[in-house]
Amino acid sequence: DGGITQSPKYLFRKEGQNVTLSCEQNLNHDAMYWYRQDPGQGLRLIYYSQIVNDFQKGDIAEGYSVSREKKESFPLTVTSAQKNPTAFYLCASSPRTGAAYGYTFGSGTRLTVV
C-alpha cells in the first residue's frame, strides 16, 4: 500500500548532538513537508520541498536542516543549534498541484532530548 513511513517512532538525543529523522514516501508525490507539534499546539511548518534538489524554509527553520536528493526521501536533521528540540515531528507529502485534500501524513517521530 502507498504511504509515508517515518522512522524511528521514538528518538532520544543528548544535548549537543545532531539527529536525523527519516521520511520516505511511495506515493509518487512531488512535494514533501516537515512539521513540528508541541503539546496542545497546532502544527508548525519547518521546511518543505516541491521538487528534488530544492527546498524552502518554513516558519521555524532555525536549528534544522533538510535534503531532497531523491523524490521518495526527505530527511530532517535536528542540529545542536535547535534550542528546544523536544517535540513531535510529522512528515507529509502532496501532489504538486497542492490540492489540500491530497496531503498524506506519516505517523510521526517523537523526539526527546535527555
Q: Is 103 in the site for other proteins (CB under 8 A)?
A: yes
| CB nearer to other proteins: pick between 16 and 99 | 99
Q: Is 101 in the site for other proteins (CB under 8 A)?
A: yes
| CB nearer to other proteins: pick between 18 and 41 | 41
- What minimum distance in Å lies between the beta carbon of 98 and other proteins? 3
Do residues 47 and 34 touch, judged by C-beta distance below 8 A? yes
Distance CA(7)–CA(47), nearest Å, equals 18
| CB nearer to other proteins: pick between 27 and 80 | 27
Query: Taking CB under 8 A as the rule, which mask of x and - marks residues 25-44 in contact with other proteins?
Result: ------x-x-x----xxxx-
Q: What is the DSSP string of 79-93?
A: -TT-S---EEEEEEE
Distance CA(8)–CA(61), nearest Å, equals 21
Judged by the rule CB under 8 A, the positions of this chain that interact with other proteins are 4, 31, 33, 35, 40-43, 45, 48, 50, 56, 58, 88, 90-92, 94, 96-103, 105-108, 110
